[in-house]
């Protein structure tokens, strides 16, 4: 039983084997950080590459992300006890009036798979809640999702609310969703538009590494 095998089970989305392997590796005294870095995170990096190359699609990516989350759930208490911290913090949610969450959930799991702490606000989230939660958890990045053309303007309302509170410059704003574009991101003063979950996780990781390790 090794980390490479575990990585493959995560990539395949094998929930049962992922949990079994994580528990067995812990019993074998493999460090939680090693399991996280060399199996779970490594697996999601491969999933992201395959997705970009059109070798897999959203359903396969979602299944792999669920397997990774199951493994991460087992490791989290050990990582916390060991004092191992995530590379940064993201607050994510779908805007007010929009109840779509599949894309947001996938972004959340891919970011968790990149070693990022994610606070998921859910759907139908008001601008005020985004501001309050970002301050509460000292977020680095605020992720805003809208899946409808009718709710897309709410992205701008969220960012305006941060500006009204004088805290716009504390955060990096990442936006996404089916109708969202790069030009729209510029229009509403978002920092970055991401077309898919794998790219979003990769970009978030790069932002956080540059912020804390450069």
User: Of how many residues is the chain composed?
Assistant: 214
Domain range 89-213, its CATH number among 3.10.20.740, 3.40.1010.20, 2.30.38.10, 3.40.50.280 = 3.40.50.280
* Contact present, 66 and 109 (Cβ < 8 Å): yes
Return the pLDDT at 82.
Answer: 86
Is residue 94 exposed (0-12), middle (13-18) or buried (19+ Cβ within 10 Å)? Answer: buried
Return the pLDDT at 58.
Answer: 87
* pTM of the complete model beyond 0.75: yes
Return the pLDDT at 214.
Answer: 66
Identify the three-state secondary structure at position 79: helix
Distance of alpha carbon 203 from alpha carbon 121, whole angstroms: 20
Encode pLDDT of 114-125 as tens digits: 999 999 999 999
For residue 8, how far is the Cα from the chain centroid?
Answer: 20
Return the pLDDT at 212.
Answer: 86
Return the pLDDT at 67.
Answer: 95
Tell which residue, 20, 185, 46, has the closest CA to residue 113.
Answer: 46
Give domain 3-81's CATH architecture: Orthogonal Bundle (1.10)
Cα angle for residues 48, 205, 25 (degrees, 5° grid): 70
Return the pLDDT at 213.
Answer: 77
Joined tokens for residue 186: 């510029």
**Residue ranges per structural domain of the chain:** 3-81, 89-213
Please list, in sequence order, all residues whose beta carbon lies within 8 angstroms of the beta carbon of residue 54, skipping any fewer than 6 positions away: none
Diameter of the chain by CA atoms?
A: 54
Joined tokens for residue 90: 């993201």
Return the pLDDT at 16.
Answer: 96
Query: Which residues of the chain are modeled with pLDDT < 50?
Result: none
Cα angle for residues 102, 205, 183 (degrees, 5° grid): 65
Rg (CA), the chain: 17
């Amino acid at each position: 039983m090794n980390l490479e095998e575990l990585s493959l089970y995560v990539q395949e989305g094998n929930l049962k084997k992922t949990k079994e392997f994580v528990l067995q590796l812990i019993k074998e005294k493999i460090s939680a950080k090693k399991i996280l870095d060399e199996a779970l995170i490594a697996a999601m990096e491969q999933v992201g590459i395959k997705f970009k190359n059109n070798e897999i699609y959203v359903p396969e990516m979602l299944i792999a992300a669920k397997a990774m989350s199951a493994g991460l759930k087992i490791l989290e208490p050990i990582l916390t006890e060991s004092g191992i911290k995530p590379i940064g913090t993201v607050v994510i949610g779908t805007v007010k009036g929009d109840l779509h969450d599949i894309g947001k959930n996938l972004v959340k799991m891919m970011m968790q798979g990149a070693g990022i702490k994610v606070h998921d606000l859910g759907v139908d989230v008001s601008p005020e809640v985004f501001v309050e939660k970002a301050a509460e958890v000292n977020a680095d990045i605020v992720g805003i999702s809208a899946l409808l053309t009718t709710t897309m303007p709410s992205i701008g309302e969220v960012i305006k609310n941060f500006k009204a509170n004088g805290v716009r410059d504390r955060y990096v704003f990442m936006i996404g969703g089916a109708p969202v574009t790069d030009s729209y991101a510029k229009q509403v003063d978002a920092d970055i538009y991401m077309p898919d979950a794998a790219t979003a996780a990769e970009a978030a990781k790069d932002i956080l590494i540059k912020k804390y390790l450069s």
